[in-house]
Amino acid sequence: MGNSDEQRSNTDSIRLDRRSLLASSAMVTAGLAGCLGDDDTTSEDGGTKTLHLLSDVQVEQAQQMFEDAFDDWAENEADTNVEPNFEYVPSGEIRNTINLRLSAEDAPDLIFTSVSYHAQFGLRGHLRDLEDIVPSSVPDSVRMNLDGREVYVPGNLQMCSSWYRQDVYEEAGIEWGTTWEEQLHNYEVLDEHLPDDQDPTLYVANGSHPYMIYGHYHPMLSNGSQFIDRDSNDEPPYPVVDQEPHRSRAIEYLEFLQDAYEYSPDSVNFGYGEATQLFTTERVMDTKYPARALVNSFNENPEIAEHVKMGRFADTPAMQAGESEYQIATIGEGFSVPTTDVGASNPELAESYIDYFMSSDYYVDFLLTVPLHRVPADLDILHTDRYQANEIVQASPEYVSYIEEMAEGARFYTSLTGKETPTTYWDPLIRGTEIGPSMLAEPMVGRTEPEEAVDRAGDRLREEIPQFEEQFAE
């Protein structure tokens, strides 16, 4: 996958032409604004505007890429004097911050955050159509089309896979398992092979912490055991965990986790950061996350980094029987531009900046602040010299190939079909209320049977979906 150098050159030329068109459009708009009178973003000198970016990106190096790109764009591309107002808020505050700004008609000029928030506010009609600046090499499956409008420029994906210590496996005389049966055998062998103080910590089987449970959603959703049906255009999503074949597959999955949990220390209770940190210092077995485990190994324990390898999710019985396909559910981040009716002041400048950023080296370097954890939505970038020069990218060609293979069919949590209207409350409904964590955790630690856990999840979803529909329709 990926275009040739000639194709990339043509694509870059098209983007440069498009940026010129956007800049011309912004110039005309600015000229008209000058004829009609000053707006409240114009300073006393009559010529300076402010570009307001709102984001929940917390990595300082990534923030710096936004700001360095702005400096170059403002000097070389913008048609007027522009000052930056880059505002960063914690992830837990971004939704309410956006909501308050839109309600007060004080919207920022552009937003960079999780896809679910763009879907939420786009469905309310508060975001502009950005079709002209979405890179052509972004797969259709991760675009966001709302009634014919593309309101979101995908910046990155976060695609989970399994990460494991190949040296630990080799010492035990085993290889990564491709089926549940093989993986359960591996757990047993590792449990017997490793010294007591190096027991394999099976994060896949740890049911004690919500953030750890997050890793389960990917194989569970990808293997067809979905919590909510989202195939209908005319009806709201409804729970299917108690309908066949979904109920049986969900029960199968919970039974598999019960079996795996036998080889996991009961005391394990780590958050996301602790888990990926521990992966670099102890002889753990595997973890199901984006590439943080690999990144942490290189940064904090480089002597083991060469042993950290990617493993595909093991096939479920349904997949082995040809009744289900391997597919990835993903999350991601990107840009949107609010409309002027909610207070955005400089939408044309915002679009020009986004287009410049997405086709610049700053975007590639932004992705590489956390290599492979932030997967480029523009898949052509995977094979650029700048991206491939990174040592962590070079160390995991299997993961790059996996990304290319799976990205065309990857589906955001907000729109798991990849083509239907997004369901904006999916992520907070499942994670925020802990329906998913309780469904997964309680059977593993022996508090309920898998059948009961599945039924409880269905009951809770039926109770809570209407509340979320009402909340997100406000």
Set out the domains of the chain in order of their start, with CATH numbers: 5-158+330-407 (3.40.190.10), 161-327+433-473 (3.40.190.10)
Q: Are 189 and 199 in contact (CB under 8 A)?
A: no
Cα maximum dimension of the chain? 79
Which of 74, 22, 25, 29 is closest to 48 using CA atoms?
74
Separation in Å, CA 32 to CA 26, 35, 42, 44: 10, 5, 14, 18
> What is the Cα Rg of the chain in Å?
23
For residue 245, is the peptide bond before it cis, meaning its omega torsion is within 30 degrees of 0?
Answer: yes
Instruction: Mention every residue, 6+ apart, whose C-beta is less than 8 A from residue 13.
Output: none
Distance CA 377, CA 143 (A): 9
Closest CA to 50 of 87, 102, 16: 87
The residue among 278, 292, 300, 291 whose CA lies nearest residue 201 is: 278
In 3-state terms, what secondary structure has residue 52?
Answer: strand
Q: How far apart are CA 10 and CA 2, in angstroms?
A: 14
Q: Is the dihedral of CA 383, 385, 386, 392 positive or negative?
A: positive
**What is the DSSP annotation of 180-196?**
HHHHHHHHHHHHHHS-G
Full pLDDT tens readout for the chain, 474 residues: 334 344 334 434 433 444 443 444 433 333 333 333 334 444 445 589 999 999 999 999 999 999 999 999 999 998 899 999 999 999 889 989 999 999 999 999 999 998 878 887 888 889 999 999 999 888 887 888 887 889 999 999 887 777 788 888 898 899 999 998 998 898 888 878 776 655 555 544 444 444 344 444 455 555 545 677 766 556 666 787 778 888 888 888 888 878 877 776 554 444 555 555 555 555 555 555 667 777 877 887 788 888 888 888 788 888 888 887 766 667 789 999 999 999 999 999 999 999 999 999 999 999 999 898 888 988 889 999 999 999 999 988 998 998 888 877 666 655 543 345 555 556 566 655 667 767 777 787 788 999 998 898 888 888 888 877 776 665
Q: What is the DSSP letter of 342?
A: G
